[in-house]
């Protein structure tokens, strides 16, 4: 007696060979629409779905497999005599193999011109229903959703399998497939809604949909296994998950982590900008009228730490900039593009990774951090300075040049790990103090790094000063202007210290903790 296999796939890759293998194993093939035509053209014996159901495909193919002759054949438990008797009474043949993959919803909504109607038309109904039914009854039905499994499944069938463990694995893969599909649909529809209240951006059930991008050699340390996943359905601009690697060996866990931080730091600068990153903190960030000058300034900000670092640019790398970059060891260079001459220069370095990515500004998104047993979620920190909220709290106001430096330093300090202090001047960081347990320690690091260049520079702090010690240290170094959130009980002490030293100080009313 022939067994029956139902094949209905959007992705036709490998399906002809799979069907041929099933026919050789004495399977009757039942199929639908496009899959039926593909198999018929390949001269494979195939039965049209309507000949099984006795009902035509209707509503432009929306209804074809949703029929008892199909689902009873999938769901009947062979070990229950009443089930097999009912199938016989209704002249329904059991279905032993279900090979289904779904409409390309994710690929459709990823298109820039995709409309809501396009998305809705690519939501599969019959496919997930058959997959779930087959997976539920996997002790009796072999369910295949991944074309890469075809040859393996044929091998199992030739040997009298699959085994119970292999069937269970296929069922798990099938439910994961439909869960991923539903999560992609939910995420897309949520992206179209406009929350009426802040809390609405945090759903009661948070569905995450990530697909394996690549296995990594190891994690932060060699003893840790690691992988990189991309978010399915991301429609919010370029990221490392969609970037193009032009040269060099594969990115490591730490490369990806640092590169992602570098890209976020450089997003949104209008002038040519370059950042060098080490351990997710900027060791040098600068802007200028030419990219080569911005790179040189970023390099000079910390010529020691940039060695082996990650560099990101917001303009295509030209020959002059590439020549400067080639003079030291860098792990990764990220830019919107590279001129042919720049590529020739940089490709001479075998292990240097070159990544093409345009760091345009992003819309709001959920920033998430894993903790044991849970997940923290917050709005991404995309807010910029509001000129209407800036408050000069000292007797002296900043000069025009100081105002420009204060705004630059404030943009940088939001990307530095707390406690964060940045000393800057003329569109260049001079000193960065990151991640210390007290603010004065971060300030001392930044000021010491700036050295004599601190004379006439500005200082930015990601949070308020609990004491006036940072102001006193800044004054001793010759810093002339400070920008900080304000809001400490001891603000008056800091303001008085600034006034005594002739420092102009601005309160933002805005904090930028980054942990």
Give Cα 85 distance to the centre of its chain: 52
Q: Which residues in 174-328 belong to E strands, given as ranges?
A: 210-216, 226-231, 244-247, 273-278, 281-287, 310-313
Mean of the per-residue pLDDT values of the chain: 91
Q: Give pLDDT, residue 200.
A: 64
Q: State pLDDT tens for residues 471-491.
A: 999 999 999 999 999 999 999
Q: What is the CA radius of gyration of the chain?
A: 30
Q: How far apart are CA 436 and CA 443, in angstroms?
A: 9
Residue 176: pLDDT over 70: yes
Give the per-residue pLDDT at 62. Answer: 67
> Is residue 258 scored above 60 in pLDDT?
yes
Q: pLDDT tens, 137-150?
A: 999 999 999 999 99
d(CA 207, CA 378): 15
CATH 3.40.140.20 is right for the domain spanning 387-507? yes
The Cα 307–Cα 91 span in angstroms is 75
Interhelix angle for 164-192 vs 126-136, to 10°? 150
- With H, G, I as helix, E, B as strand and everything else as coil, classify residue 33: helix
pLDDT (0 to 100) of residue 61? 65
Write down the architecture of domain 243-373 according to CATH: 3-Layer(aba) Sandwich (3.40)
Q: Tokens 């406009």 identify what position?
A: 194
pLDDT at 193 over 70: no
> Of 357 and 10, which is predicted with more confidence?
357
User: Cβ(391)–Cβ(506) under 8 Å?
Assistant: yes
- pLDDT on residue 123: 84
Q: Where in the chain is the domain with CATH 3.40.50.1380?
A: 3-189
Residues in the chain: 515
CA 365 to centroid of chain Cα atoms: 11
Query: Is-catalytic flag, 415?
Result: no
Per the CB < 8 A criterion, the answer to whether 481 and 505 are in contact is yes
Which positions ≥6 away from 480 have C-beta within 8 Å?
A: 402, 456, 457, 458, 502, 503, 504
The model's pTM is 0.79
pLDDT bin (cut points 50, 70, 90) of residue 195 is low
Contact yes or no for 255/263 (Cβ under 8 A) = no
Query: What's the pLDDT band for 103 if we cut at 50, 70, 90?
Result: confident
CA dihedral 369, 371, 373, 374 (to 10 degrees): -30
Backbone angles phi, psi at 218, to 5 degrees: -170, 180
pLDDT in tens, 215-240: 999 999 999 999 999 887 777 888 99
> Which tokens sit at 337?
């593009």
> What confidence score (pLDDT) does residue 64 get?
66
- Residue in 83, 279, 349, 514 annotated catalytic: 279
Which are the contacts of 85, defined by CB distance < 8 A and separation ≥ 6? none
Name the band, by pLDDT with cuts 50, 70 and 90, for residue 73: confident
d(CA 126, CA 339): 49
Architecture of domain 3-189: 3-Layer(aba) Sandwich (3.40)
Q: Are strands 353-356 and 244-247 parallel, antiparallel or unpaired?
A: antiparallel
pLDDT of residue 143: 94
Rounded average pLDDT over 452-456: 97
In order of 76, 228, 243, the CA distances from 173 in angstroms are: 21, 20, 28
317-332 tens-digit pLDDT: 999 999 999 999 999 9
Percent helix / strand / coil, the chain, rounded to 5? 40, 20, 40
pLDDT at residue 313 greater than cutoff 70: yes
Among 18-27, 416-425, 467-476, the minimum mean pLDDT is found in 18-27
Mean pLDDT of 348-371: 92
Backbone angles phi, psi at 245, to 5 degrees: -90, 125
Is the pLDDT at 58 greater than 80, yes or no? no
In this prediction, what percent of the chain has a pLDDT beyond 90?
A: 68
Binning pLDDT at 50, 70 and 90, where does residue 194 land? low
Among 136, 177, 415, 453, the active-site one is 136
Helix (H, G, I), strand (E, B) or coil at 269: coil
The average pLDDT across 412-421 equals 96
Terminal C-alpha separation, the chain = 66
Give CA–CA dist 53/31, Å, rounded: 12
pLDDT band, residue 198 (cuts 50/70/90): very low
357 compared with 56, residue with greater pLDDT? 357
Residue 136 known to be catalytic: yes
CATH 3.40.140.20 domain span(s) along the chain? 243-373, 387-507
Burial-class residue 308 by CB neighbours within 10 Å (0-12, 13-18, 19+).
Answer: exposed
| Alpha carbons 279 and 416: distance in angstroms, whole number | 10
pLDDT computed for residue 395 by the predictor: 97
């Amino acid at each position: 007696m022939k067994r029956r296999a139902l094949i209905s796939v959007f992705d036709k890759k490998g399906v002809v060979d799979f069907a041929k293998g099933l026919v050789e194993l004495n399977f009757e093939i039942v199929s639908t629409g496009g899959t039926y035509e593909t198999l018929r053209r390949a001269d494979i014996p195939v039965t049209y779905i309507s000949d099984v159901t006795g009902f035509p495909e209707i509503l432009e193919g929306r209804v074809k497999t949703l029929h008892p002759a199909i689902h009873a054949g999938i769901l009947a438990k062979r070990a229950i005599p009443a089930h097999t008797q009912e199938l016989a009474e209704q002249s329904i043949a059991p279905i032993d193999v279900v090979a289904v993959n779904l409409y390309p919803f994710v690929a459709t909504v990823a298109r820039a011109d995709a409309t809501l109607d396009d998305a809705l038309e690519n939501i599969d109904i019959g496919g997930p229903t058959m997959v779930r039914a087959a997976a539920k009854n996997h002790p009796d039905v072999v369910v295949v959703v991944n074309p890469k499994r075809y040859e393996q499944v044929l091998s199992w069938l030739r040997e009298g399998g699959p085994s119970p463990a292999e069937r269970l694995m296929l069922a798990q893969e099938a439910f994961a497939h439909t869960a991923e599909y539903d999560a992609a649909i939910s995420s897309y529809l949520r992206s179209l809604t406009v929350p009426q209240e802040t809390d609405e951006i945090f759903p009661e059930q948070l569905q995450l949909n990530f697909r394996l991008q690549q296995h990594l050699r190891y994690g932060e340390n060699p003893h840790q296994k690691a992988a990189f996943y991309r978010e399915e359905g991301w429609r919010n601009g370029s990221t490392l998950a969609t970037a193009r690697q032009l040269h060099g060996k594969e990115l490591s866990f730490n490369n990806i982590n640092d590169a992602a931080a570098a890209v976020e730091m450089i997003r949104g600068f209008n002038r040519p900008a370059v950042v060098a990153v080490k351990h997710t903190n900027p060791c040098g960030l600068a802007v200028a009228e030419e990219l080569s000058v911005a790179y040189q300034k970023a390099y000079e900000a910390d010529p020691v730490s940039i060695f082996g670092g990650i560099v990101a640019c917001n303009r295509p790398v030209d020959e002059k900039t590439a020549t400067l970059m080639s003079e030291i060891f860098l792990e990764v260079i990220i830019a919107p593009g590279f001129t042919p001459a720049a590529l020739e220069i940089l490709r001479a370095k075998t292990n240097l990774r070159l990544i093409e990515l345009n760091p345009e500004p992003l819309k709001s998104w959920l920033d998430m951090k894993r903790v044991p047993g849970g997940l923290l979620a917050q709005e991404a920190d995309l807010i910029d300075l509001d000129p209407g909220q800036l408050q000069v709290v000292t007797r002296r106001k900043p000069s025009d040049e100081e105002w420009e430096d204060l705004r630059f330093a404030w943009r940088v300090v939001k990307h530095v790990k707390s406690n964060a202090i940045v000393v800057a001047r003329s569109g260049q960081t001079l000193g960065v103090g990151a991640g210390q347990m007290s603010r004065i320690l971060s300030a001392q690091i930044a000021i010491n790094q700036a050295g004599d260049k601190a004379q006439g520079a500005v200082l930015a702090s990601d949070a308020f000063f609990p004491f006036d010690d940072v102001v006193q240290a800044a004054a001793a170094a010759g810093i002339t202007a400070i920008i900080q959130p304000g809001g400490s009980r001891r603000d008056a002490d800091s303001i008085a210290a600034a006034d005594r030293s002739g420092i102009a100080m601005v309160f933002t009313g805005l904090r930028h903790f980054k942990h």
